[in-house]
Amino acid sequence: MSSAMTNNKAQQSLESAPAGKILVADHQGVYVIKMVGDVRLTLCVPFDDYIETLFAKDDFCAILFDLSEVSGVDSTTLGLMAKIAIRSNEQKQISPLLISDQPSINRLLESMSLTSICRLINTPPADYCQAPSLQDTTTLAHCSQDELVVKTKVLESHCVLMSLSANNHETFKDLVQTLERA
């Protein structure tokens, strides 16, 4: 297969991927963060605002990342997920659950070392219910798309990812250096 055909198929695949959403709900200290579609850095500002709200409440006893309907997750989003995992472990000794039965997503989570700070399971726990009150994070936060704010969030999330493993450090060091200079 020619390179042009491969690139064309990859582009068609990206174009057909549903726009990403990050939906959230909580009940009695159980926080569910459900990602749907292709979740990219365009959602990083409202997602990070939500993270700050979550930790300001300090009432959490469990955090679940439901990735069962995600088609893609970028490194910025993974870095923000890692931020939640690290802070929840520091504050309450809680390791979030990652729910995914998709081999490609599971490989991504493992390769970015998220499975070292979260527990990956293929199916939801028996007592997990789909929260009827899931809210889109973009409706919960003021959606500033100021370039400097986005750059700061992207830089922070990649620094968190770099802290997880030597492989991540090597993978993202050039990006981080470029963002720091910009």
- Examine residue 4 and state whether it is found in any structural domain, yes or no: no
Q: How far apart are CA 50 and CA 141, in angstroms?
A: 7
- Examine residue 63 and state whether it is found in any structural domain, yes or no: yes
Can you read off the two tokens belonging to residue 50?
A: 């939500």
Q: Total structural domains in the chain? A: 1
- Examine residue 11 and state whether it is found in any structural domain, yes or no: no
- Examine residue 42 and state whether it is found in any structural domain, yes or no: yes
- In degrees and rounded to multiples of 5, residue 64 shows phi and psi of -120, 130
- Examine residue 169 and state whether it is found in any structural domain, yes or no: yes
Domain CATH for 140? 3.30.750.24
- Examine residue 58 and state whether it is found in any structural domain, yes or no: yes
Q: Is pTM beyond 0.85 here? A: no
Range of the domain at 148: 18-181
- pLDDT tens per residue across all 182 residues of the chain: 333 333 333 333 344 456 789 999 888 888 999 999 999 988 888 999 999 999 998 899 999 999 999 999 999 999 999 999 999 999 999 999 999 999 999 999 999 999 999 999 988 766 565 555 666 666 544 455 678 888 899 999 999 999 999 999 999 999 999 999 88
Can you read off the two tokens belonging to residue 96?
A: 């979030």
- Examine residue 10 and state whether it is found in any structural domain, yes or no: no
Beta bridge partners of 70: 37
- Examine residue 122 and state whether it is found in any structural domain, yes or no: yes
